[in-house]
Amino acid sequence: MRPAAMAALACLLLAGCRTIAPPPDSTAAAAAQQARATTLGLANGDCAAPGWALAGRVALSNGRDGGSGQLEWTQGGGRTHLLLSAPITRQSWMLDVDPRGGATLQGLPEGSLGGDDAAQLVRDATGWDIPVAALGCWLRGVAAAEVALGVARIDFGADLLPLRIEQGGWTVEYSGWKPDPFSRLPMPARINARRGEDRVRLVVDRWGLE
């Protein structure tokens, strides 16, 4: 029996033998991603412009400390509102970002704090590194503007949906997709973002409009 035939027979006999899916066509994947960004209003990489909302569960870690809770994200017209609450400790903080008035963080023991850079404000006040501006795009499976974070690398699955986005030193991975009743596009169900020891893990329970 020829080696090729023997290999085929062995494959049929082995219970764990599986067919490996071919890699997606790069041109088709790029076209599908461009269409996705356009439909979501993110074709120019402006993550704060379109109105949308989500509710889910988030876990944060910086290599020293960790925490988890419920997350509500609402944005529209360039404004972003985040509410993070921990049911067990009954603690919560709110972050509001306005392109004209900067960022405001509430719920801290020292009271409300403000600053020009939302991510820097959260980092200084809590120790968490959360890429607020880019998450408006990454959470929906689209790269942020290159002028802000540089060129993004996107890996796609056989379904032409993003598996991974690498941009600005962050790696954002997607597992599981669920239909969005408003855009009629598949939206990420689980998102893991990491840079160094910093981690942001999100399970989305509901997508919606602002």
Supply the pLDDT for residue 3: 47
Q: Which residues contact 4 (CB under 8 A, 6 or more apart)?
A: none
What CATH number should be reported for the domain whose range is 24-208?
2.50.20.10
- CA quadruple 68, 74, 80, 81: dihedral sign: negative
pTM of the model: 0.84
Say how far residue 142 (Cα) sits from the centre of its chain.
8
β-pair type (113-115, 52-61): unpaired
**What 3 state SS string does the chain have?**
CCHHHHHHHHHHHCCCCCCCCCCCCHHHHHHHHHHHHHHCCCCCCCCCCCCEEEEEEEEEECCCCEEEEEEEEEEECCEEEEEEEECCCCEEEEEEEECCCEEEEECCCCCCEEECCHHHHHHHHHCCCCCHHHHHHHCCCCCCCHHHHCCCEEEECCCCCEEEEEECCEEEEECCEEECCCCCCEEECEEEEEECCEEEEEEEEEEECC
**What integer pLDDT is reported at residue 22 of this predicted model?**
59
**CA–CA gap between residue 32 and residue 180 (Å, rounded):** 17
Task: Give the model's pLDDT for residue 2.
Answer: 52
Q: Return the sign of the alpha-carbon dihedral for residues 23, 164, 203, 134.
A: negative
Average pLDDT by consecutive 10-residue portion of the chain (210 residues)? 48 48 80 95 88 93 87 92 82 89 89 92 88 92 91 95 97 92 90 94 89
Q: In 26-44, which positions are buried (b, 16+ CB within 10 angstroms) versus exposed (e)?
A: eeebeebbeebbeebbbee
pLDDT digits (tens, 9 = 90+) for 115-159: 999 999 999 988 888 889 899 999 999 999 998 899 999 999 999
